[in-house]
Structure 1
Amino acid sequence: MADLPIETIFEILTRVPAKVVGRSKSVFLLIDDLTCSVHPIIFQSYDYGPRSIVTLPFDHQNNDVSILSHLNGLLCVFLNDTNELLLGNPTTTAFKRLSTPDSLGIYINNIDTIGLYADDADDYKVLHIKRRCGVYESYVYSRELNFWRNIPFLTRQEYLSPNFYWSPGTFCGGTLYFTLCEC
C-alpha cells in the first residue's frame, strides 16, 4: 500500500466500515510536535503493545495543530496558522484538506465548532457551525461526496450571543451532542 498515492490510500481507508475498523485494532494516540505515537491496546493483559511513531504530513509553518473531533480512528484537525480543517487517519498519515476557495472549511478558533459523525450509510461527515457577526451558519462536509453543503440551523436566540462557548460535538447513539456554556 505504501506505493499508492496518499489520495488513493485515503479514498480506500475512509470507506472501510467503522465497525470493521473498530474490531481490527484499538490504539492509544499521543500527538506531540507533529509526531504521533501509536500504542495498540491489548485488552487481555491490560497493557500496551509495541509503539510505532508516525509523522503527521502537515506542511504548515509553525506546527500548531489542534484536534477538534475524532470518530472511529478519524480525526478532524485544525491548522492554527492557516485556519484550515483537515480530515484524516493519523495511523496511515492520510489527510484531506477540507478548505475551499469560498472559505468553506475555514475554522475560527473559540468562535466556530465542529462535530464528526457517520450517517446510516457509513459516510463520514463533518458538521461545521460558524458564528459570524451574531449569525450562525452550518455546513456539512460529506466524505463520500467530497463537498460541503449549507444546512438549516435553528437554535435558541440567546445561544447566538458571543457569550456562549460551544464544545466540539460528541457522536453517540446516532446523535451529535454539543455542550454550551456561558462565559
Structure 2
Amino acid sequence: MADLPTHTIVFEILTRLPAKDVGRSKSVCKQWYALLSTRDFVRIHCSRSLVSSNQRVLLIDDLTCSVRPIISKSNDYGPSSIVTFPFHHQNNDLLLWNPTTTAFKRLSTPDSHGFYINNLDAVGLYVDTDDDYKVLHIKRRSGVLGVHVYSREVDSWRNIPFITRQEYLSPHFN
C-alpha cells in the first residue's frame, strides 16, 4: 500500500476531526504542529465544523462557563459541559480565549483599549478578507461612542471613525 501524502492526511482527514482531537494531533511531531497551526488548516477545519451536529454555544456567566450543543430541530440547547477558566478575570479586561486549547490573550492595553463595561459596550468577532481574526469593540463612555478593532495578526488596536447619532449613546440602545 502506498503512503498517503502529508497534504491528504492533514487537509482531507484531520480537518474533519473534532477540535480536541486536532489539538492532540499537534503533539505527534513538529511538522504536524506546524501544519495544524496554519491559517489554511484553521479555515478549512472551521468551515467543515459548521455541520449542524457540530455547532455549540459558549455560555459565560460571572463565575462559570459552559458549552452546550445546539439542537437544530428545536433551536434549543443540549446538556452542558462545564469549562474551567484558565485565567482570573478582573478589572473588566477584554480577553481573547480559545476554550478548546485554553490559550488566552489579554487585549486590554494601558491606553484603555479593551476595557469592557457590561451594559455599555458591545463586542463582535470576525475574520476579514485576509483571514485576520478581528475583535470589534464598541464602547460608550460619558456621551462618547468609540469604535475600535483589534487585529490578531498585527496584535494592536485601531480606531474606526464612526458617525454617531444621539440615540446610539444611550445605554438602552441595542
1:88 offset after TM fit, Å?
2.1
Q: Provide the TM-score with structure 1 as the length reference.
A: 0.57
Compared CA separation, residues 128 and 37, structure 1 to 2 (3 A): closer
Higher RCO structure (Cα 8 Å, ≥6 apart): 1
Structure number with higher strand proportion: 1
| Per-residue deviation, residues 149-178 of structure 1 (Å, max 9, x unmatched) | 111011323322x25333xxxxxxxxxxxx
Deviations 1:92-118, CA, capped at 9 Å, x for gaps: 111111011111100111111111111
Aligned to 1:97: 106
Structure 2 Cα separation of the partners of residues 157 and 140 of structure 1: 22
Structure 1 residues 112 and 40: CA distance shift in structure 2, 3 A: closer
Task: Identify which of 141, 145, 152 aligns with 1:136.
Answer: 145
Shift of 1:13: 5.0
Matched AA of 1:18: R
Q: Whose helix fraction is larger, Structure 1's or Structure 2's?
A: 2
1:21 matched to 2:42? The reply is no
2:84 to 48, 51, 55: 55
Shift of 1:37: 4.6
Find 2:173's aligned residue among 161, 165, 174.
Answer: 165
* Contact 1:85 1:97 (C-alpha < 8 Å) held by counterparts: yes
Rg bigger for which structure? 2
- Mapped to 1, the partners of 2:112 and 2:118 lie a distance apart of 15
Match of 2:120 in 1: 111
Report SS of the residue matched to 2:48: helix
Residue segments in structure 2 that go unaligned for 5+ positions in a row: 1-22, 28-32, 72-77
Identity %: 56
Query: Whole-Å Cα distance in 1 between the matches of residues 132 and 160 of structure 2?
Result: 17
TM-score (norm 2): 0.60
How many residue pairs get matched? Answer: 134
Shift of 1:54: 4.3
Partner of 2:100, secondary structure, is: coil
Question: 2:91 is aligned with what amino acid?
Answer: T
Q: Does 1:120 align with 2:109?
A: no
User: Quick one: distance in 2 between partners of 1:127 and 1:106?
Assistant: 12
